[in-house]
């Protein structure tokens, strides 16, 4: 895997789900666009992640590792960071979140979820919401995985946080994630045979793997502030391995392997390495 040219080209390389076709609905440099937006809404972020895989009833390896990386990057800039997820994903995040707090969003009915969201937002008063590979509700009022399996009974309605007009960023790779409501329904969306999420966000990042999209956001943020905030290769390797040891599974196979959406560790880390090279080249050019 040797992607080049831009952050977007890097994170959309090896596109197994044909998600790249929807980039025409986004700014050409959508990672930079999202990073600029993020910086204009400091310094109190809620980050949500965690996607249950029904065949194993375990959370997947896509989302949580990069969510930790983003939280660490924002913390390094002096931001307050709060993670919001469900009880399935809390154990994956807890050992790696440093001093950042984690809120367990209950799996319950819509009315109770909306009330929980309002109370949570009132208490934390976030300046921005960021979702990384988190299932969003579809037009039928359900939460479903890539194959159409209904996972509503196992999914916290975290997307109710995004209905309160707070600035937000969504990162997704398949169509059923929070933020994909930004993509208009078309023949192309129907051809994917997946019910797209109707939950929209202020900005959207699409990528072949959501972790890669979040790395892309961190890379763009790094260039904006002229400091490389990307996680090290070793730290993400250890993080993925550690989360698998805690129960995370591959989102495609449902197996307890150190893979992300069927991409092996080497393939995943090569994307992060490519982004490191891109950031360092751009930092050098702007010095």
Residue 135 in this model has a pLDDT that exceeds 50: yes
CA 202 – CA 78 distance, rounded (Å): 23
Q: What is the mean pLDDT of residues 230-245?
A: 98
Q: Are 168 and 201 in contact (CB under 8 A)?
A: yes
* Confidence tier at 4 by pLDDT (50, 70, 90): low
Q: Is residue 198 part of a domain?
A: yes
Q: Which of the four pLDDT bands, split at 50, 70 and 90, describes residue 285?
A: low
Torsion of CA 274, 276, 278, 280, to 10 degrees: -150
Domain-embedded: residue 102: yes
Cβ 94 vs Cβ 68: under 8 Å: no
Closest CA to 115 of 154, 152, 161, 177: 161
Q: Name the band, by pLDDT with cuts 50, 70 and 90, for residue 5.
A: confident
In a domain, 16, yes or no: yes
For residue 218, the model assigns a pLDDT of: 99
Please report whether residue 1 resides in a domain.
Answer: no
Confidence of residue 192 (pLDDT cuts 50, 70, 90): confident
Mean pLDDT for the stretch of residues 228-250: 98
Q: Is residue 138 part of a domain?
A: yes
Percent of the chain with pLDDT over 90: 91
**In terms of residue numbers, what domain contains 248?**
7-286
**What band does 76 get if pLDDT is binned at 50, 70 and 90?**
very high
- The total number of structural domains that make up the chain: 1
Tokens for 270? 């090569």
Residue 249 lies in a domain: yes
CA–CA dist 81, 75 (Å, integer)? 7
C-alpha–C-alpha distance, residues 244 and 53, integer Å: 13
Start-to-end Cα distance in the chain:
29
Q: Is residue 2 part of a domain?
A: no
In angstroms, the CA 71 to CA 58 distance is: 22
Question: What pLDDT, on a 0 to 100 scale, did the predictor assign at position 100?
Answer: 83
What's residue 194's pLDDT?
87
Alpha carbons 105 and 23: distance in angstroms, whole number: 31
Question: In terms of pLDDT, which residue wins out, 77 or 189?
Answer: 77
Give the CATH number, domain containing residue 48: 3.90.1640.20
Please give the Cα distance from 259 to 269 (Å, whole number): 11
Interval 51-78 mean pLDDT: 98
Q: Does any domain span residue 131?
A: yes
Least confident of 128-132, 162-166, 200-204: 162-166
**Cβ-contact 83, 65 below 8 angstroms:** no
């Amino acid at each position: 895997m040797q992607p080049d040219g831009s952050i977007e080209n890097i994170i959309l390389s090896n596109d197994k789900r044909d998600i790249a076709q929807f980039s025409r609905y986004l700014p050409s440099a959508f990672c930079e666009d999202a990073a600029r937006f993020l910086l204009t809404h400091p310094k109190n972020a809620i980050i949500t992640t965690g996607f249950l895989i029904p065949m194993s009833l375990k959370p997947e390896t896509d989302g949580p590792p990069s969510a930790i990386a983003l939280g660490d990057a924002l913390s390094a800039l002096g931001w307050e960071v709060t993670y919001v997820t469900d009880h399935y994903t809390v154990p994956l995040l807890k050992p790696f979140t440093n001093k950042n707090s984690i809120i367990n969003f209950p799996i319950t009915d819509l009315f109770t979820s909306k009330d929980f969201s309002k109370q949570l937002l009132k208490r934390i008063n976030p300046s921005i919401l960021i979702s990384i590979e988190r299932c969003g509700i579809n037009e039928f009022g359900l939460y479903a995985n890539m194959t159409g399996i209904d996972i509503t009974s196992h999914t916290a309605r975290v997307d109710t946080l995004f209905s309160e007009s707070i600035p937000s960023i969504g990162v997704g790779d398949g169509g059923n994630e929070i933020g994909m409501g930004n993509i208009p329904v078309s023949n192309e969306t129907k051809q994917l045979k997946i019910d797209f999420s109707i939950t929209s966000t202020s900005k959207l990042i699409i990528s072949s793997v959501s972790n890669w999209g979040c790395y892309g956001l961190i890379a763009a943020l790094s260039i904006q502030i002229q400091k490389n905030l990307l996680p090290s290769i070793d730290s993400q390797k250890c993080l993925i391995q550690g989360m698998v040891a805690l129960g995370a599974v591959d989102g495609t196979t449902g197996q307890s392997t150190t893979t992300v959406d069927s991409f092996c560790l080497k393939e995943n880390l090569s994307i992060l390495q490519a982004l490191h090279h891109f950031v360092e080249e751009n930092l050098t050019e702007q010095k």
